[in-house]
Amino acid sequence: MSSEYLNIGPTPADEECQQLGENFDSRKAAIEMKVFKNQLLRQFGNPPDGATIKVKSFPHDYGSYSEVCVVFDTESRAAVEYAYKVESESPANWDDTARTELEFAMLTLEIER
């Protein structure tokens, strides 16, 4: 099995996200990526054998950052097709369900502080 990944992003392309730097909130970033992953699963369905949607961490000059990625077995045609479909058709904006999930999760986060 030969595994590769495609970076999809921390959030839909046209949405704001937590930025590394002074005001970065890792808890909010984790929520955004979980909600984005859920949206991708709603839109594209469960990945076939040999593929998965996951949050992957990467090193950066300011620490590390994470993105939602599709990890796939390059020897599985179904996994490769799924990964490239997610990459090419990834949503530009949150859907209604994602907006609701974000509002609830961020409100819960504020209450816990």
Round the average pLDDT of the chain to a whole number and report it.
Answer: 92
H or E stretch at 67:
strand 63-73
The residue type found at 11 is: T
What span, in angstroms and rounded, lies between the C-alpha atoms of 73 and 52?
9
Q: What is the DSSP secondary-structure string of 5-47?
A: EEEEESS-TTS----SSTT--HHHHHHHHHHHHHHHHHHH-SP
Q: Kindly state the tokens that stand for 62.
A: 């300011």
pLDDT at 19: 83
> Whole-prediction pTM value?
0.91
Q: Does the pLDDT at position 98 exceed 90?
A: yes
pLDDT at 113: 59
Query: Where residue 112 falls among pLDDT bands split at 50, 70, 90?
Result: low
